Amino acid sequence: MYQNLDIIRNHNSEYVLVLAGDHVYKMDYGAMVAHHVRVGADMTVDCIEVGLEHAGQFGIMSADTENWICSFQEKPEQAEPLPGHPSHALASMGIYVFNSGFLFEQLIKDADQLRATHDFGKDIIPDVIINYRVMAYPFRDVPGGEQAYWRVGTVDAFWAANQELIGVTPPLNLYDESWPIWTCQEQLPPAKLVFDDEERRGMAVDSMVSSGCVVSGATVHHSLLFSNVRINSYTYVKDSVILPDVDVGRNCRIHRSIIDRRCRLPEDLTLGLDPRADTKRGFYISEGGVTLVTPEMLNQEIHHVR
């Protein structure tokens, strides 16, 4: 933020909305900004309730009855539970609204601190709650008032969020016409599933298959294929997320895995069935047991140009 201070200033805005780039959620930011203005806050922090067992992954705060933040700790070992909810804590979502002048002042002040880590959660928020008006804004579903859908950027959360999309009634519904999700989508041919032999049948069950994909004599079960993925004959993919431009060779067995974009998986490769074997080959195994494969792990040096 400090490095781009001149660009932000040139927009001459009264408020600045700061967003995180590794989260999955739907939110009307206008309601949060309006609340920030209405209560006269200097800074507003979007927050959500998390289980105490996960609190160490987040900035944890406590607030008074009017939601003014009283304390803030970044990734504490022992988080302070919510009053009346001993199993949950109040976590920052990394989404902030600032009065512009206040933001500039705090960024410049932080930049002058030689011992600072120059981080909102570690430095700026704990400092400003002492002398300024910092509001906690609970992230709620507008129709029902319940806690809204939100997934944060870990390998396990990314895998789970994609798996949820496949469900019959997913919590984040891509087919919701009342709140469509727009994106820059490359024009590609429709997905194609080919061959109908007894042992070589191209099929996808309980799955989402994007444009440009070719499932050639392979079986895809409860998985999500991004665009331009090719699954070759006699391969079986289950409970997996395959990113764009991946080519999966013949006779592979892919279970509970994430395959990064542009990977070229060799024939007869098995993933997700033996964590020790996957680790030995240099693949990453998450805490939840999801196998992650990137081109570099396959000694395929590429440049991500998209």
Domain definitions of the chain by residue range: 2-152, 154-306
Q: List all residues 6 or more positions away from 278 whose beta carbon is below 8 Å from its beta carbon.
A: 271, 272, 285, 291
Class of domain 154-306: mainly beta
Cα 62 from chain centroid (whole Å)? 24
pLDDT of residue 144: 66
**Residue spans of the chain under pLDDT 50:** none
Question: Which pLDDT value is given to residue 43?
Answer: 98
Q: Is the CA virtual torsion 63, 67, 69, 72 positive or negative?
A: positive
CB 58 within 8 A of CB 122: no
Q: How far apart are CA 101 and CA 258, in angstroms?
A: 43
Asked if 151 contacts 25 with a C-beta cutoff of 8 angstroms, the reply is yes
Domain 2-152, CATH among 3.40.50.1450, 3.90.550.10, 3.30.750.24, 3.40.50.300: 3.90.550.10
pTM: 0.84
pLDDT score recorded for residue 39: 98
Dist. CA 306–CA 304, nearest whole Å = 6
Q: What is the pLDDT of residue 143?
A: 64
Residues in CB range of 98: below 8 A, 6 or more apart: 15, 16, 18, 42, 43, 106
Gap between the Cα atoms of 234 and 212, Å rounded: 20
